[in-house]
Structure 1
């Protein structure tokens, strides 16, 4: 009888142990989570965008006239002096080549001009002979007029005749000058490039540097024919730089003149300070790397700090502060999630996750300003999973 009761007690204990084991196995397991602390610290909101350096005033050296440009004597990086350094020289263009038909026409014109000169010289000789004859006749008439054998009217007529002959001689000389000019013109049209003077040293226009500075770019390096206004080189002062950045129009409205910025990732081991000088009033369309059309606005910043290693067209990153506070309650962005149209977090409180609604102010890439809902020192779950529920057990991951 005693053994039966012992067996029953043993079976009861075994049943209790099995039920306790099942209860232990099916108990709620705490979820392993990463926890961050809500802090009260300085915070700022910035806009970060890629930009580039630019010489503030770039001067273009252009051809003032059409001509033959000699090989440019300066290179990128050369230091030039205003109104002293010769950037390039322009010579007259060579005359066009003459084909056989055009050459025959020009030769005929030249021969005609020579014949014209000969005719004009004969006319001059004729006029001079007539003048001499009139002067001799006038001399005889003057002698006869003194003896009373010739009337005064006859003397006057011969005097006028001499004046007319003198005028005819002057006109003949002028015609000879005209014919010689026509001959010179015809001979000039036959001129061809002189192999002994390929650069045309007889005439040139030297292009001088407009300012003291450095050559930034050379557009026309080789010898060539250029049109009036052709750009030859660009010159600027590399020690007077500004920063240019193209912002999204939605970001540009948050920027104003005087906004502070920092220049980073320019190659140095420290940041450079800058201040926004101008925000362009008009935007332009730019296609992004993903093929999306974006409205961009050009923003220009003045460098407060500079470095001699920076040059024209260097890539930099600009970070401009649009809002900041000395001390505000903030929570990591990774802890926030949306519940409808409101922000929520899971606060770790006593080993359980408490879903808490928070009101958010300013946000940056790392943290968000907490207006209501959390206090400094509270722990919040970062990257909460979909399995996490309000009131669920949580355990901080080591």
Structure 2
């Protein structure tokens, strides 16, 4: 009896030792492979901007009056005067330029005096030739002179008349030259400009976006003055990597977030066909394509969204309902293939699978799994082929 007790005790101790060193099941968290709706999208920063921004520039060189409009002020097409440009004051003359101008004016005055003297001389000649022509006409009637002598007298009279007309025209030219020489010596009025001669009218209805040249100043032709646009006609422009842009199709759904307000529904309007080289923040040379989005949500939801605002655009690339899906947390690489651990009969079984589309949560299963399979989420290095596992209680 004593031996039996010792034997039983020994067997019990050995059983306890074996049980203590036996591998325990690994506690794992599992998820079921089941049909899901998968949507693949790309997210990138973008910029909201008005489709048509009109930059009003000076059409003539002159003195711009101070702009009374400010950013945000409404304007009406073909009615609101946004700027006025008048003639600028003449430049001040230095001592050399003034001396030249004074000499030119003195010469112009002398030329006027000479022209007046020529007019007086031409008038006297015409008066004499007129009297000679009248005398020759009277003598011809009395047959005292020949017809040729009468013709010569009339010709000399007409020549004297043409000389007088030429002298008077020359006097007018010299007087205008004198006026021009006097104008070169003028410094203009104290304000530097005369009455305003040109008004710039708003080409479209909308609001002033930016006043580029506000203060009163002399401007040249083409100087930008202000920008006008319609805040209700907004679009979003997103720069996508060229490898992502090839999957974006016009009409694709999108969502605008990250601007400080509620999400805004949008739609892809067009994809630029040309990629532009840009340097990323990490110094990487990238090729990016501009994607233009149209806002399709309620305009009341994005009234506060303005020109130049930074936004986050999420563009849908692919979407399908009822596809067999596996959580991405259950996936890992097995060589060049995708694999996962499936729980069968309380043990982990390695399965190589074929994937299709995937997003940050789920991946499409094309082959290797069936609906209802339990896969291990986030498998650790304790998980291996055929190891016993215990499901985590939820």
Q: Does TM, scored on the shorter chain, surpass 0.5? A: yes
Residue 238 (str. 1) matches residue 231 (str. 2): yes
Aligned pair partner of 2:356 in 340, 354, 361: 361
- Once the two structures are superposed, the pairs formed by residues 202-351 of structure 1 within 5 Å of their partners are 202-269=195-262, 271-305=263-297, 306=299, 307-351=302-346
Residues 280-316 of structure 1: per-residue CA shift (max 9 Å, x gap): 1100012222221111111112222233222222222
Indicate the SS of the match to 1:90: strand
CA displacement at 1:12 relative to structure 2:
4.8
Aligned to 1:42: 37
1:179 lines up with 2:174 in the alignment: yes
State the distance in 1 between where 2:33 and 2:143 align.
Answer: 141
TM-score calculated relative to the size of structure 1:
0.92
Deviations along 1:29-80, one digit per CA (max 9) or x if unpaired, are 2223332222212221112222222212222212222222222222111111
**Alignment-derived partner of residue 91 in structure 1:** 86
Q: Which residue number corresponds to residue 352 of structure 1?
A: 347
State the Cα distance separating 1:121 from its structure 2 match.
0.4
Displacement of 1:273 in angstroms is 2.5
Q: Distance in 1 between matches of 2:158 and 2:10?
A: 160
Match for 1:188 among 149, 166, 183?
183
Tell me the equivalent position of 1:122.
117
Q: In 1, Cα distance between the equivalents of 2:233 and 2:196?
A: 37
More off after superposition, 185-194 vs 169-178: 185-194
What are the ranges of 5 or more consecutive residues in structure 1 without an aligned counterpart?
none
8 Å contact kept, 2:235–2:293:
yes
Partners of 1:88 and 1:257 in 2: CA distance: 41
State the Cα RMSD in Å.
2.0
Corresponding residue SS for 2:107: helix
d(CA) in 2 for partners of 1:335 and 1:369? 13
In 2, Cα distance between the equivalents of 1:350 and 1:289? 51
* SS in structure 1 of the partner of residue 22 of structure 2: coil
- Secondary structure of the equivalent of 1:377? coil
* Post-superposition offset of 1:166: 0.8
Deviation at 1:140, TM superposition (A): 2.8
Residues 236-292 of structure 1: per-residue CA shift (max 9 Å, x gap):
1111222211111111111122222222333333x3322222111100012222221
Structure 1 position 69 matched with structure 2 position 64? yes
- The unaligned stretches of length 5 or more in structure 2 are none
Closer, same or farther: CA 370–182 of 1 in aligned 2, 3 Å: same
Tell me the residue number matched to 1:56: 51
Q: Map Cα deviations across residues 217-245 of structure 1 (whole Å, 9 max, x no partner).
A: 22222223333222222211111222211
